[in-house]
Structure 1
Amino acid sequence: MDRPMEGGSLRSEGGQYERRKINDVVLVDGRRPPYVDRDHWIDYAIQSGVDFERLPRMPLWATAAGYSDAWYRSVVGSDLKRIRYLAQRPLAQEEAQHLAQHTANKCRATTHYTPMWMSATGYFWWKGWNSYRFPFFTPDPRSLEWVSKRLFSPVGIKSVYAPFIWHALRLISYSSISSWVMTIFFKSGPSAIFAAGLVNDKNLEGLNKDIAHFANERRRQQRTGMPTGPIGQPQMSTMGGEDEPPAAAPEQGDQGAAEFEQLQRQARPEDETLQRKVPAPARMPPRRRAEPEPQYNVDDDDPFDDGASPVAPSARRQKLDASTPVGGSAWTRLRTKAFVERTQEQANEGSAALPRTSSWEERRQQSLQGGSYTYSQERQPTGDDKGSAAAARSREQAQKEFDAMLERERKGSS
């Protein structure tokens, strides 16, 4: 059993866990507690200026059903603390009183759980008394007699008591089904009543605007990944009550901060042990980058370009490939660079060994470089044109002499 310690702390005799009070909120091993003392929330409601005499009282059956006046007051205090956290500001006395009114309506709706559960169970249990009806099916009386003989007789139960046993089983089954259905309804119904009253209350318009503002601020900080601080703390349950009350937002205090740091230091060796036990992830092999596709200029498909010219598309493509960075290792890049340089040298040597182009081709290239495409029929021949014509005649004469020599050798051999 737990025994109270001085300073509001609880310590188990076996040392399995320890509760400490930090800033009026009980922490269990540094985590959120399963419950907080009722007196804490009642005192908070009184300090907020709530006048319980002005609030509606609980129904007559509330105390018999387990909903005491202390539970009612503690729920009011926990809701005030939760709304104060959502608005990020203290509550005015009138705001606290109106919030307490809406919480009282929620508590009154919650107290209807027990009578409705008992009424539903008794109604369906009594309605199927003669037919031994169970939830969702009605057994055959002959099968009940057969089961009674096979199941109850061996254990010494007389057949006279068998009907009472079957009715007891029916009561348990109907009670379980009714409790499950009522729990689903009463988990959402009272909370919806409280939320609707809070939103539609004209006296709480300013409070609703503050809650909406800080809710949007929290969502914005979560999207941008910014450090949230007190605004980005996890939200608490919307269902106020004794079972799961919201933990109070920690305030600045030297004593609370020192005790909280001590709890962190106690939990740190366990985290380090877990980190040492977790094996390091296997390293993945490096992924090779895809080879870049060769880039081409728009004017590469000019039909008037000479394939043997240094400015031909092939030569321009080689220069462009040489300037393009190639992915892969350093050795691959060096080999690629050397191959491109050798290819360029071979292309330059081949273009130098080719015969000189005609004068018409030279004039065309000069006109392209100069940016002028005009042609004049009255152009006078220049010295370059005469030299080109002489060179052409020399090549023609040499070709004729070579053909004549081949003809003489052919005739001599024949």
Structure 2
Amino acid sequence: MKPPKLPPGDPDYVRATVALVNWDEASVPWSLSPFGRASNMRAYQNAPRMAALNAGRELTAAEVEAFMELSFDMLSAKNVAGTVCTALPAYYFWRRGMARFSFPLWRPLAAGFDANTFRFPLAPQPLVGAPARAAWHGLRFLAYWVAASLMAGGLASGAATAAVANRGTTDPRLEQWRADCMARMSANKPLPGGLPRPPVPFPQQQQQQQQNSGYGGDDGSSWRPDDDGSHTTPAWPTAPSTPSPARSEPPRPPQDSGGFEDPFDEGSPVAPSYRGPPSPGAPSSTGSDAGGSAWDRLRRESANRASGRGDQQPSRSWDAKRASAASGSEESWSYSSPGGSEADTDQERAQKEFDEMLERERRSPSGGRS
């Protein structure tokens, strides 16, 4: 037997392993089928090469001998089992349909079939009589053989090959080879679990998050452009922002809408004195009349917000003074928008004019109900 032709990219230990085989004494199984003989011989010759690639090293002489014996037995069992399991069902079905000249999945019609005449392709004269019937039966057996080899022969060959290959797991000569193969499989095995890694943010998003956490979130008082390398940082200084304490509003007293419930909305600009007497079946509400109308409450809330803004600015200035005194500097500064006081004055003046207009409408005869 000739040695196999190795690919040029095989490692040196593979070539050394194949060189240990005595190819002159290697025999071919007698049961080797003519169908697929080339592929079977290629698998038989490449057995030591594949074993060396799986172990990642050069095999010893004992390991090479064990693999050659195992490959010979596997090839013999495959051909014997495949041939036997193909011939038996083929002969059975061929014999059962001999009288009717039946084929696999096809039976000739009685009117259009003549078993005493058989014509070979490109033959000048057809066969007549007994030779014709023998030719028909030979063609039938070939058809049943092909069908049986496709259905039963492949299964039998696979089972016989697996049974012989199982002997390699108990052969003491291949113990070290099995250990090396398991070590290579464990090294190439992925980590258990397969948990996905957390997503890594882009550098621009990560820097933006750091800026947001350092400047106290998205505050409208400080302008921060996207840091993508094309913008410049403003050169003016920015005052450190101090978290302002949350203002706690005092609990509101229970409000009464004129001492009685009526169909008028509490937010109506009509004074309670012009609403008329209460309805007989309306339930009376408890509490004092200190709440007033909704317009009065809106005015008080506006005044409270204005006073709250006025109290907040001195507190910021006092915090700046304390910070400067602690550092040993007598200078302190605070920043406020130049148009803030004028806007507050305009708002109060407009509110006052609106209140006076409402009072005049209430006191006029046409301000009440008709």
- TM category (shorter chain) comes to 0.3 to 0.5
Normalised by the size of structure 1, how large is the TM-score? 0.38
| Bigger relative contact order, structure 1 or 2 (CA pairs below 8 A, ≥6 apart) | 1
Normalised by the size of structure 2, how large is the TM-score? 0.41
Q: Which has the higher helix share?
A: 1
